[in-house]
Copies of this chain bind each other. A is one copy, B any other.
Amino acid sequence: MPSRPLPTPLYQVIPITDPEDPRIEPYREVRERDLVGRDGLFIAEGAVVIRSLVQSPRYRPRSLLIADKRLAALEPMLTALPANTPVYTATQAVLDRIAGFPLHRGILAVGEKTAVPTVANLLDACGPVARVVMLFGIGNHDNMGGIFRNAAAFGADAVILDPGCCDPLYRKAIRVSVGATLLVPTARLAPDDDPLALLDRFGFEAVALSPAGAETLAALSPPRRAALLFGSEGPGLPPALLARARGVRIPMAGGFDSLNVATTSGIVLHHIASGQAS
């Protein structure tokens, strides 16, 4: 019986035995560094997140680093890699020494951006019924990741960041988002952008979440093109912005007026998604 030829893998498997090998330099001591800002590179970890990276039309893996014992199980994902992507492999012991901590997930990738849309690009690309999330001064990576996760779960069209927000490509934000920061379209406002004028130009109504909002969320009938504005937990949204937007509040029980901003985004996006579905 003639043997069928094996398909040639498009990725390259490159075994690494020396933790000091210069080829895996971007993976060294990943906890100590934040690759964002260095030529737009970032670190993604775990199979679920890296699958998002492989699927994403806006990012791509530059290389992977995998525990050799996991190589076979990850094969289906690896076949989807762009041609010639280096896949470095190492024993778990060498991997842990490279990463600087026990890397139980056994897989890391260095990713890079392939497209950098503007806020106007993203708003323009939305359909007649759309919801975008717009964030002001969100500096906590857990919250940033959580908001992207909710945006993906409820099908938000984009997450737009003001200049005061942290980078959603920071390793922890990517991890908390379960890869959603690599899937949901995102762009950052310029310091001299007027966010409300920009929204208005593309027919989006600004809905500002604030304890001082005149309407309750439960009573909100969502506009067809809705921009949902969230500020950080302490200071909230800038007063100048609140004064010009439709203010919406989430009523809370007496004496404990405190919701996490990522949780708030989930509550709001669920309300909007339910309203538009019914």
Contact = CB atoms under 8 A, between A and B. Distances in A.
A180 to B, nearest CB: 7
Interface string A30-56: 000000000000000000000000000
A19 interface: no
Interface stretch (A71-79, A106-114, A250-258): A250-258
Interface stretch (A90-98, A144-152, A160-168, A200-208): A144-152
A260 B175 CA distance: 12
A142 to B, nearest CB: 8
A253 B150 contact: no
Contacts of A64: none
Interface string A162-188: 000000000000000010100100000
A6 to B, nearest CB: 31
Specify the main secondary structure of chain A where it touches its partner.
helix
A273 interface: yes
A149 B273 CA distance: 24
Interface stretch (A115-123, A224-232, A238-246, A263-271): A263-271
Interface residues of A, number: 35
B155 A259 contact: no
A259 B150 contact: yes
A250 B270 contact: yes
A260 to B, nearest CB: 6
Given A150-B259, A262-B263, A155 B253 contact: yes
Contacts of A253: 152-155, 273
A254 B250 CA distance: 27
A259 B218 contact: no
Nearest to A52: B256
Given A217-B270, A267-B267, A260 B155 contact: no
A1 interface: no
Task: Identify the 6 closest CB pairs spanning chains A and B, nearest first.
Answer: A155-B253, A218-B274, A263-B266, A152-B256, A267-B270, A153-B252
B217 A256 contact: no
Contacts of A256: 152-153, 180, 183
A221 interface: no
B154 A260 contact: no
B150 A263 contact: yes
Nearest to A178: B258
A63 to B, nearest CB: 26
A8 interface: no
A278 interface: yes
